[in-house]
Structure 1
């Protein structure tokens, strides 16, 4: 594929912006939710207003010899849609959200555009007492989230979010629009459930199976000094693994927690558990083990089991991952226990250059029921899982925080060669980050599907160093 040169624009309902045009830099920066905008510059950006625009943009890129990348919502930490030269197809205006009620034996479904956010989907479903395992951050759009597999709220019970994808509508490299299911174009359907930013097409819509809204959502937490990480994880991990699948438990390691009446600000570890239960009594009973810590005298803060909602959970996530900040992120699936892995991160967290940085480590973040992992490129790849986030706000601190993130990940993966989750992997770090986000057979099958559906390599593959 050649470099971009100025040619006539396709007929669009949306807009086309060339590099050098007024508004180009704003459009380029808007592609990434992260305040860090990578120094990569598409030759032209198409902001699609319709599926018709998507088809015309794909045809235009193919006819002009332009490589093509796709942005559905912009939450990818590495800014994978931003590539030099070529055409960037921005789907952020495709925000359809339509509910279809249950009809006889057929359960209710939702048809959503790729730019619909988790927060918007929750708002549409809750009045109908329906739910979906949306992403933990409210502003995460469903497009990239579902394409990557999706580790969402209550995924330990409901499975990876892509398990509830019943159909995807795809514009292919030759400009066709195809509806993909288990029975129709099953290879593209399989790839669309986990391939992430390397998917060889443009998904313009998803049909989603929905769940009954939990009768009770309840959360509890307990917080300790970070120095007690080994003791806290040794106590809490077996409890978390033994609880019903509708209880989601996570360790959160913070570079600096707030002061309390008894202790000054300092690094912390929290155990946060949320039950998505059939009754308040069931939820409260499931969370009770976390209220009976044998070394409770070390606790510096805590919240008893308290009713909450998806909207409130999203508000809490917004406070942890605030907008208008600069981010770096990387993750690891590993065979070791949470005690082993998180203890390795105590010293890096305690010396982080930003007090806002943190590590999130959900215990069993996704159901491992084979029925909920079938027919998808995504798979959990280890006994423990964690994501390390560098969070800061001053551009002058970019080198320090970027370096800290990679040093922290080296500490937790000292031999290298760890496995990753494509949605939050540091794709520009050393090593084959994309390839190590898949089982070997899945990686080979993804390559075969791309060769079949995109033989001329129109679509950019995975971002790398």
Structure 2
């Protein structure tokens, strides 16, 4: 069998889809409050341009088309009045002051992966991707610019033999990921990305630049570790505590669909049993429709994972023994197995769907020189599991995937269950703004668009996602992961922030009382 490719299950049948009229684009626009002040004049824009070191791209600029788009083509209909490619903290300050003075909506962007499209706006986009330096040496903190993408973070740290627990998708920005939590294949061993944050430099709504850490502006530092991007300021750089990079063991086991219910049940017990999986072992259980199999085919089921901290004979023997336990508990032999050891950087490229690619090619096509990766259109939602789903819950979940398989024209879609616990759950819920510390797993529901989907197909796709979320709700927690932000989630503030919501609103009042940094699912001041 081929190696595991976590990103491929999120690729959503390739291509993209621009939403017109009602839909996600209008959902975003509805979240922007109006202002009675006149629109900025040509003179205003010229004055801002003169203050910036980086370029200010207006719609007539040939660079604007590429600069104004997000990862998901669903938001291409949203047209910013300008995109400022900020190359310095002073550039960000100038943009914040401009937005405050003119009343223009403002959005910060790095990777542009917000599922709700909240990293764009009809006003001014502050693109921090030029600030992407990655610098670290063994025994020191890693200093990372807010615009760095994960593939460049991993590559930059690897030069010093270091690594950081973070996500799999290579074109996600470090800023949005870390501020919303930051789960990944090393989370059980090393914690969330936000747990490794040591300090940050932030431009506040006032235009002031502050350095925040555990001893300086501690409430702001608390909020940056879990509030999500775009809520309390624009971060321009971070310091993180990296860990030593070691070889990783990757594995994938695949099963025939007729054993799916038994495998999912066994996997839940396998990851959550007391004294079970070591913290060095992370895994994911993926049940996805397979459009290539046709309406009469069956979905796919696989369990993949990563073992960190050692790849010697003893570690490999221990892993194979644990995988044998999973197979025995499932009661079904896998149809294919794959176990391999790779260096840390190569392993993360494989996890990001970039197996065999050079780092420079593992960027978006048309966005970065040499980039070859496509943009992706999809909808998604999430939930947490604090205990294994009962058999009825597993049946409902798999039934939704089977329904999608039976639907002609539906793109790839299904559920991704990721194991949690370990170092993530050793942090108390109130120690950082990230409150989800008791989960055994997260569930991400993904519904991909076909490149030529009609409006009717788009709506059918949306209905499948919402019906799946509703049907599985009795079997999961009522919380959701803020980095898988869901524009249609009812009660989203409580679902994302739980018992930390009141404190977050107090921090918002202290640092952004006029709600300059606002969007449809943004935290509001107390």
- Which band: TM-score by shorter chain? 0.7 to 0.9
Could you tell me how far apart the structure 2 residues matched to 1:4 and 1:27 are?
25
> Following superposition of structure 1 onto structure 2, how do residues 198-217 of structure 1 map, counting pairs within 5 Å?
198-214=230-246, 216-217=247-248
Deviation at 1:301, TM superposition (A): 2.1
Could you tell me how far apart the structure 1 residues matched to 2:472 and 2:76 are?
26
1:432 aligns with one of 491, 498, 511: 491
> Following superposition of structure 1 onto structure 2, how do residues 390-429 of structure 1 map, counting pairs within 5 Å?
390-396=447-453, 397-414=457-474, 418-426=478-486, 428-429=487-488
Tell me how many residue pairs correspond in the alignment: 449
Change over 3 Å in CA distance of 1:47–1:199 after alignment to 2: same
- The answer as to whether partners of 2:417 and 2:444 remain within 8 angstroms in 1 is yes
Change over 3 Å in CA distance of 1:188–1:337 after alignment to 2: same
2:249 aligns with one of 218, 231, 237: 218
Residue 105 (structure 2) aligns with: 67
Deviation at 1:258, TM superposition (A): 7.5
Residue 387 (structure 1) aligns with: 444
- Asked whether 1:323 is paired with 2:374, we answer yes
Give the secondary structure class of the aligned counterpart of 1:451: helix
Deviation at 1:141, TM superposition (A): 1.4
Could you tell me how far apart the structure 1 residues matched to 2:494 and 2:119 are?
18
Deviation at 1:74, TM superposition (A): 0.7
- Asked whether 1:46 is paired with 2:102, we answer no
Which residues of structure 2 form unaligned runs of 5+? 1-34, 356-363, 365-372
Residue 18 (structure 2) aligns with: none
Could you tell me how far apart the structure 2 residues matched to 1:405 and 1:166 are?
37
TM-score for both structures, normalised by structure 1:
0.88
> Following superposition of structure 1 onto structure 2, how do residues 278-427 of structure 1 map, counting pairs within 5 Å?
278-288=310-320, 289-292=322-325, 293-294=327-328, 297-304=332-339, 306-307=341-342, 309-318=344-353, 323-338=374-389, 340=391, 341-352=393-404, 353=407, 354-364=410-420, 367-371=423-427, 375-380=431-436, 382-396=439-453, 397-414=457-474, 418-426=478-486
TM-score for both structures, normalised by structure 2:
0.78
Deviates more, 1:138-147 or 1:8-17: 8-17
- The answer as to whether partners of 2:389 and 2:476 remain within 8 angstroms in 1 is no
> Following superposition of structure 1 onto structure 2, how do residues 68-87 of structure 1 map, counting pairs within 5 Å?
68-84=106-122, 86-87=123-124
Could you tell me how far apart the structure 1 residues matched to 2:394 and 2:485 are?
18
Residue 15 (structure 2) aligns with: none
Could you tell me how far apart the structure 2 residues matched to 1:235 and 1:370 are?
25
- Asked whether 1:98 is paired with 2:156, we answer no
Could you tell me how far apart the structure 2 residues matched to 1:2 and 1:145 are?
34
Residue 17 (structure 1) aligns with: 57
Deviation at 1:127, TM superposition (A): 3.2
- The answer as to whether partners of 1:38 and 1:82 remain within 8 angstroms in 2 is no
Could you tell me how far apart the structure 2 residues matched to 1:169 and 1:212 are?
25
Question: CA-to-partner distance for each residue in 1:330-349, whole Å, 9 max, x for gaps?
Answer: 11114441455443221221
Deviation at 1:254, TM superposition (A): 1.5
- Asked whether 1:195 is paired with 2:227, we answer yes
Deviation at 1:302, TM superposition (A): 1.9
Give the secondary structure class of the aligned counterpart of 2:136: strand
Change over 3 Å in CA distance of 1:224–1:339 after alignment to 2: farther
1:112 aligns with one of 129, 144, 158: 144
Give the secondary structure class of the aligned counterpart of 1:250: strand
Could you tell me how far apart the structure 2 residues matched to 1:291 and 1:305 are?
16
Q: Which has the higher strand share?
A: 1
- Asked whether 1:169 is paired with 2:201, we answer yes
- Asked whether 1:88 is paired with 2:125, we answer yes
- The answer as to whether partners of 2:383 and 2:481 remain within 8 angstroms in 1 is yes
Deviates more, 1:326-335 or 1:135-144: 326-335
- Asked whether 1:230 is paired with 2:261, we answer yes
- The answer as to whether partners of 1:219 and 1:308 remain within 8 angstroms in 2 is no
- Asked whether 1:248 is paired with 2:288, we answer no
Give the secondary structure class of the aligned counterpart of 2:492: coil
Which residues of structure 1 form unaligned runs of 5+? 103-107
Could you tell me how far apart the structure 1 residues matched to 2:477 and 2:271 are?
27
Give the secondary structure class of the aligned counterpart of 2:268: helix
